[in-house]
Structure 1
Amino acid sequence: MGLFSQFCVGAEAQTAGAGVRLAQAASPDDVPPPRRRPPARLRVTPYYAPDGVYPRYYPGPDAVRECNATYVQEYRPSGTVIVPHMSCYWRRG
């Protein structure tokens, strides 16, 4: 420890420069308000499906939608339950 204290004998505190003191002395009225960016503009187009079918495509003029409804088992933390399940597809009419 004595060796370390010999090297630190000449250490002195530094004072802040004049520019720093002036910057700290500025009043809040002199500071300009922060710049605000305009809000981002997003174009939102709603999805309208007149018949509720997704994905929307044109299967043909004489297409018929076939649906099969069954009950399936689902394994949940509370126990096994039976729920309805429907699958649909397009076929030529």
Structure 2
Amino acid sequence: MGLFSPFCGGAEAQTVSTEVRMAQAGPPDVPPPRKRPARLRVTPYYSPDGVYPRYNPGPDAVRECNATYVQEYRPSGTVIVPHMSCYWRRG
């Protein structure tokens, strides 16, 4: 017939207890908060002219560059490539 048939056997009603149960809050199981690591300040590694001095050369600094050709030994053979080295000097 149906699920709610009065002829279903084994269905019994539950009794309601008269005692009141209180929910008790126990100690929290939350770990202590982690400390954040110190923040690092990151500055970009660029400059408008593509030159980034490792120190402040001063307001009247001049960039000196020496360009030469050097030999490089590669698996395909020895090649000659340009090599440039620059430094700052006071102007």
Length-normalised TM-score, structure 1: 0.47
User: If each structure's helix is expressed as a fraction of its own residues, which one has the higher value?
Assistant: 1
Kindly name which structure, 1 or 2, has the bigger radius of gyration based on alpha carbons.
2
Length-normalised TM-score, structure 2: 0.48
